[in-house]
Amino acid sequence: MSDDLNGPGYIHTFRVGLHDTDAAGVLFFAQLFRHAHEAYEAFMAHIGFPLPEMIRQGEYHLPLVSAQADYLAKISHGDDIQVTVQVAQMSTRSFSMAYTFTAGRRKTVAHAKTVHVLIAHPDKRIAAPLVLPQALRIALARYQQPPPATD
Amino acid sequence: MSDDLNGPGYIHTFRVGLHDTDAAGVLFFAQLFRHAHEAYEAFMAHIGFPLPEMIRQGEYHLPLVSAQADYLAKISHGDDIQVTVQVAQMSTRSFSMAYTFTAGRRKTVAHAKTVHVLIAHPDKRIAAPLVLPQALRIALARYQQPPPATD
Amino acid sequence: MSDDLNGPGYIHTFRVGLHDTDAAGVLFFAQLFRHAHEAYEAFMAHIGFPLPEMIRQGEYHLPLVSAQADYLAKISHGDDIQVTVQVAQMSTRSFSMAYTFTAGRRKTVAHAKTVHVLIAHPDKRIAAPLVLPQALRIALARYQQPPPATD
Amino acid sequence: MSDDLNGPGYIHTFRVGLHDTDAAGVLFFAQLFRHAHEAYEAFMAHIGFPLPEMIRQGEYHLPLVSAQADYLAKISHGDDIQVTVQVAQMSTRSFSMAYTFTAGRRKTVAHAKTVHVLIAHPDKRIAAPLVLPQALRIALARYQQPPPATD
């Protein structure tokens, strides 16, 4: 089993729609990032930090500063995909999310990763140092991947 | 109650994602059509005519020849939307689908309509006249809106 | 010649990208609306009313309340498309835009239409009646389709 | 100057459209990948290997197997972006493309990278070893970044 599936994960599912595909007959690569973000939004709502409210309230911002994906197998129109969402890393001001996309009988078809960094909202004056709220850190930690085994 | 909700409908739901919205803070209008098509794909799979197989087998094509939408109320990030899918009209070679988008306590926020016409696949020689398969017509008819009352 | 090409028009061009297409091998219908809106944005900037500033300043909003499209011919990956943008109708509070999509030697492949209505910005108190600014009406009128001939 | 702008590059430009942005007011991250791919398509057509024909002829496939991006600064609605396209690496069967996104007076706002690997078309029997065609290698080499200086 792939080690990015160690530890607990939040499960999000979707079916590949016609609009996800391109004339080459498979998922257009950038659509994987859209689905990763949908999984991230579902995850954040699940742990009690829904993005719509965070953006509207604007107390702090968690912009995505980096994204990457690896495509391991063809993803086709109609495929039922399961996304396992995990927290890959966490520091005082940032965290990264890992997404494992599987199809059928747990065949991994893609991996993705996004990095989010806390920044002060431009309209707010925040005297305190910029650190991820304690409640968010605790919620994220529950889905954190174990550190890689050293052997 | 709006008369496009007369008769039976197939229900599809989605939550408005960040990628659906634009800098004006609401759903970008073209994304409504993507969601209408997702609802259409779910509907067609539900009645036994999944699009992925129809496209792959290529025996007949049902391209979309017309689309329209009316936007009645603001659709925002995080809104839970219910789409009621119905067959608006049906003829020997074409049919149109009606989509009613509701939010919250059955408030209608948008309407959409798509028209699909049967065409022969360019690679196939079809001697028979182009008519919608009987099985598809029967399946569609179960979700057809009643004709408007004359009073 | 099609009568929606009567009168002056603003020309916008684009090439159909891989991401515009779907597994059926042609432009995914909702992408036509994205391209219509890109043509609309280019047109509005051209006549001196760039959307980015209008949205940021927020003095008045022109949300899209209706959209429709007719697909007349296959639009494929790599096709060079010309969009002719015209003002179809104008009233004191709203206007509609007509888009004619042509490929190759002026073959019309699609039509689209969007309707925009002036609304007050929720954060502003506007005592004056809601009417399109005079300067905008004059700028739009230069691209207005002539009324259909009566014969 | 950033060293990914060493060497020759192909220039592609675009203006950030409303549909590119999200309710947070900036470019939705996955749209950067769409623009990277548009730049890649324009580049491939420029060097004589247009993707639409490559996909239609299907003699060989160059699927994207990896993608990544770093977001360095806010990209907003209406921004005029210049993409400098370069070949980052090349081997017998694969190559990677580097994209540098700049706004205004050459301020770098994002980087992206895509990796493309040659695979045999499933429908073709290719006895010969899978290597990038010589003509493509020569064309790509003209836009290759110089190896990093060792000092």
Place of tokens 């042509």: C102
| Cβ of residue A120 closer than 8 Å to a chain C Cβ | no
Which chains would you list as touching A if contact means 3+ CB atom pairs under 8 Å? B, C, D
Check residue C126 and give its pLDDT: 54
Model pLDDT, residue C3: 43
Question: Cβ separation of D55 and A31 shorter than 8 Å?
Answer: no
Q: What angle do the packed helices A29-46 and D29-46 form, to 10 degrees? A: 170
So what's the pLDDT on residue D101?
98
* Whole-number pLDDT of residue A59: 74
Which of A54, A71, A73, A53 is closest to A62 using CA atoms? Answer: A54
Q: Strand locations in chain B, DSSP E? A: 10-15, 60-61, 64-71, 80-90, 94-103, 107-117, 119-120
Query: Taking CB atoms and an 8 Å cutoff, what residues of chain A touch D30?
Result: 30-31, 33-34, 37, 67
**Segment A20-79, tens digit of pLDDT:** 999 988 999 999 999 999 999 999 999 999 999 998 888 778 999 999 999 999 999 999
Q: Does C100 touch chain A (CB under 8 A)?
A: no
pLDDT in tens, B31-67: 999 999 999 999 999 999 999 999 888 877 899 999 9
pLDDT at D72: 96
- Could you tell me which chain A residue has the CA closest to the CA of B41? A17
Of B18, B51, B53, the CB nearest to A37: B18
* Average pLDDT over every residue of A121-146: 82
pLDDT at residue B1, as a whole number: 39
Residues of B in contact with D24 (CB under 8 A): 18
pLDDT, position D82: 97
| Contact (Cβ atoms closer than 8 angstroms) between residue D68 and residue D112 | yes
Residue of C nearest to A21 (CA): C22
Give all chains having 3 or more CB-to-CB distances under 8 Å with chain C.
A, B, D
Choose the catalytic residue: D3, D20, D22, D79: D22
- The pLDDT of D126-134, averaged and rounded, is 78
B18: contact with D, CB 8 A cutoff: yes
**What average pLDDT does the segment C125-130 reach?**
64
Please state the ipTM of this predicted complex.
0.91
Pair D145, D8: CB distance under 8 Å: no
Tell me the longest C-alpha to C-alpha distance in chain C.
Answer: 52
Q: For residue A1, name the pLDDT band (cuts at 50, 70, 90).
A: very low
**pLDDT at res. C1:** 39
What does the radius of gyration of chain A's CA atoms come to, in whole angstroms?
Answer: 17
* Average pLDDT of the residues in C75-83: 97
Contacts of C23 in chain B (CB under 8 A): 52, 55
Does the structure show a pLDDT above 50 at D24? yes
Q: Is C33 on the interface with A (CB under 8 A)?
A: no
Q: Which two tokens stand for residue C131?
A: 């009417």
Average pLDDT over all residues of chain C: 90
Residues in a beta bridge with A76: A26
Q: Average pLDDT, whole number, for chain B?
A: 90
Pick the most confident of A47-56, B11-20, B124-133: B11-20
CB contact under 8 A, B68 and C67: yes
Q: What is the pLDDT of residues D30-61, one digit of tens each?
A: 999 999 999 999 999 999 999 999 988 887 78
B33 — contact with chain C (CB < 8 Å)?
yes
Query: Nearest to residue D143, comparing CAs of D21, D4, D30, D2?
Result: D4
Range picked from A72-76, C143-147, D104-108 for highest mean pLDDT? A72-76
Q: Residues C22, C70, C123, C151: which is the catalytic one?
A: C22
Residue type, D93: R
In sequence order, what E strands does chain A have? 10-15, 60-61, 64-71, 80-90, 94-103, 107-117, 119-120
C84: its two tokens = 């002719």
Mean pLDDT lowest among B58-62, C135-139, D39-43, D107-111: B58-62
Contact by Cβ (8 Å): C18, A24: yes
User: Which chain D residues have a beta carbon less than 8 Å from that of C15?
Assistant: 41-42
Residues of C in contact with A18 (CB under 8 A): 22-24, 28
Of D18, D50, D76, the CB nearest to C41: D18
| D2 pLDDT above the threshold of 50 | no
pLDDT at B147 (0 to 100): 76
What are the chain C neighbours of B52 within 8 Å (beta carbons)? 23
> What is the tens place of the pLDDT at every residue in C4-48?
466 789 999 999 999 999 998 899 999 999 999 999 999 999 999
Q: Sorting pLDDT into bands at 50, 70 and 90, what band is A151?
A: low
- Whole-angstrom distance, CA of residue D42 vs CA of residue B73: 39
Of C30, C70, C71, the CB nearest to B34: C30
Q: Please tell me the total number of residues recorded for chain A in this structure.
A: 151
Residues A92-109 pLDDT 10s: 999 999 999 999 888 999
When CB atoms are compared, the residue of D29, D55, D63 closest to A64 is D29
Mean pLDDT, all residues of chain D: 90
Q: What is the pLDDT at residue D3?
A: 43
Question: DSSP state, B8?
Answer: -
In this predicted structure, what is the pLDDT of residue A126? 55
DSSP A42: H
The predicted model scores a pTM of: 0.93
Q: Which of C30, C66, C70 sits opposite B71 (nearest CB)?
A: C66
Nearest-by-CA chain C residue for D53: C78
| Beta pairing, strands C119-120 & B80-90 | unpaired
D44 exposure class (CB count in 10 Å sphere: 0-12, 13-18, 19+): buried
Residue A148's CB is within 10 A of a number of other CB atoms, namely 9
| In the predicted structure, residue A148 carries a pLDDT above the cut 80 | no
Closest approach of chain A CAs to the CA of B12, in angstroms? 13
The C-alpha of B37 sits at a distance from chain A's nearest C-alpha, in angstroms, of 8
Q: Each residue of D74-95: pLDDT tens digit?
A: 999 999 999 999 999 999 999 9
Residues of A carrying an active site annotation: 22
d(CA A41, CA A61) in angstroms, rounded, equals 14
Of residues C150 and C118, which shows the higher confidence score? Answer: C118
C78 interfacial to chain A (CB closer than 8 Å)? no
Q: Which residue of B has its CA nearest to A50?
A: B78
**One-letter amino acid of D57:** Q
**What local confidence, expressed as pLDDT, does residue B149 receive?**
67
Res B57: pLDDT: 87
Catalytic residue list contains C22: yes
For testing the chain C interface, which of A28, A31, A77 should be mutated: the one with the most C CBs within 10 Å? Answer: A28
Two tokens, residue D63: 């699927």
